Amino acid sequence: MNLLDKLRKIKDRFDQVNEELSDPANQNNRDKIINLSKERNNLAEIVSAYENYKQLMLNIDGNKEIIDTSTDKELSDLASTELKELLIKKEAMEDEIKILLIPKDPNDDKSVIMEIRAGTGGEEAALFAGDLFRMYSRYAEVRGWKVELVDINETGLGGLKEVIFSVNGNNVFGDLKYESGVHRVQRVPATEGSGRVHTSAATVAVLPEVEDVQVEINPSDLKIDVFRSGGAGGQNVNKVETAIRITHLPTGLVVQCQDERSQLKNRQKAMKVLRARLYDIKIKEQTDEISAKRKNMVGSGDRSDKIRTYNFPQNRVTDHRIGITLYNLSNIIEGDLNELLEQLKIADRTEKLQANIES
């Protein structure tokens, strides 16, 4: 199927979606209307490109006809000059359309649950986990996103053994999904007196937030424990049982939340994390077969993979998936992630485009 045929097929589906949206029989089906509206929005840009491409092809055919049939040399020369320009424009437009035809991740526009855990390296790994949390929090602030703590486990020196938080806003998963994996740091720890560089690590998980309808949870599969909060929290701490621990019995997943003073709010946050983790398992099962055939360079989200090294003595950040090294660690660790994330998006898009061409 050539490019024009693919675009015609998409245009036909776009017209069909519009008809279904206008059908009175669907007006009371809220879920269907929402899904159709999302599909129309996703197709609209491609359909617009199709209309421009179709007109361009008509102009190309018109100029070719003039060249083949006209006895007016001046007119024929003018058509030849214009044809060259149109063919250059056609090539550029086809490249743009091929990018538009790359299947979009339906989770890209969702908010996320992020989990950062200290790995190898003891207290230094915990301090690095805290640095990563601050880095993502500051990046979220610049983007106008809202960060909400779900659970946090601090160490005596100000590091974090674990932190779970949500990031809410537009296209959050589309930007942060590349951050899942093992992050490695090389620096002289604050606890090191000899000045020797240590290597430590922390893991990051980025999970899209999901609605109840996307993950079915049987209440009988849940074991819910209530306990007293620990750590900071003023007079409420250790006096009122507001912290929640939820165990999903079929999978053994355990989620707890003690950030809020309300037991209900803690329960709601914990359920949000549980749904995200169960959805992550579901998606991983669906993509395992594809991943076995073709290892995604950028977007695999495998949290056992070492994805990035932060070298403080050299002010260097290296992303091992795409082989890029930036010498602006001091800015990146303060939340300036734009250049790094843009390079990852380009690499991911290039890889998917190549896969589309091969298929």
pLDDT digits (tens, 9 = 90+) for 95-119: 889 888 887 888 888 999 999 999 9
- Provide the pLDDT confidence category of residue 230 given band limits of 50, 70 and 90: low
Please give the residue range of the domain that contains residue 48.
Answer: 3-100
pLDDT for 294 equals 42
Average pLDDT over residues 260-265: 83
| Domain end position, chosen among 45, 79, 100 | 100
Same domain, 196 and 329: yes
Same domain, 25 and 64: yes
How many structural domains comprise the chain?
2
Strands of the chain (E only): list them. 112-118, 146-154, 160-168, 181-187, 198-208, 222-227, 243-248, 253-257, 306-311, 316-319, 324-326
DSSP of 202-240? EEEEEEE---GGGS---GGGEEEEEE---SS-GGGTTTS
**Percent share of the chain, pLDDT over 70:** 88
pLDDT for 284 equals 77
Residue 241 placed within a domain: yes
Residue 105 placed within a domain: no
pLDDT for 295 equals 47
CATH number for the domain harbouring residue 20: 1.20.58
| Domain end position, chosen among 75, 100, 125 | 100
Q: What is the 3-state secondary structure (H, E, C) of 113-130?
A: EEEEEECCCHHHHHHHHH
Is residue 193's pLDDT more than 80? no
Strand order of the β-sheet with 146-154 is 146-154, 160-168, 112-118, 198-208, 181-187, 306-311, 316-319, 324-326
Residue 106 placed within a domain: no
CATH number for the domain harbouring residue 300: 3.30.70.1660
Q: How far apart are CA 284 and CA 289, in angstroms?
A: 9
pLDDT for 304 equals 59
- Provide the pLDDT confidence category of residue 290 given band limits of 50, 70 and 90: very low
Residue 154 placed within a domain: yes
How confident is the prediction for the chain on average, in pLDDT? Answer: 87
Same domain, 46 and 148: no
Quick count: other Cβ atoms within 10 Å of Cβ 1? 7
Same domain, 94 and 146: no
pLDDT for 350 equals 84
Is residue 21's pLDDT more than 90? yes
Least confident residue range of 192-196, 308-312, 322-326, 353-357: 353-357
| Domain end position, chosen among 70, 100, 130 | 100
pTM, whole model, 2 decimals? 0.73
* Residue 309, Ramachandran bin (φ over 0: left; ψ between -120 and 50: alpha; else beta): beta
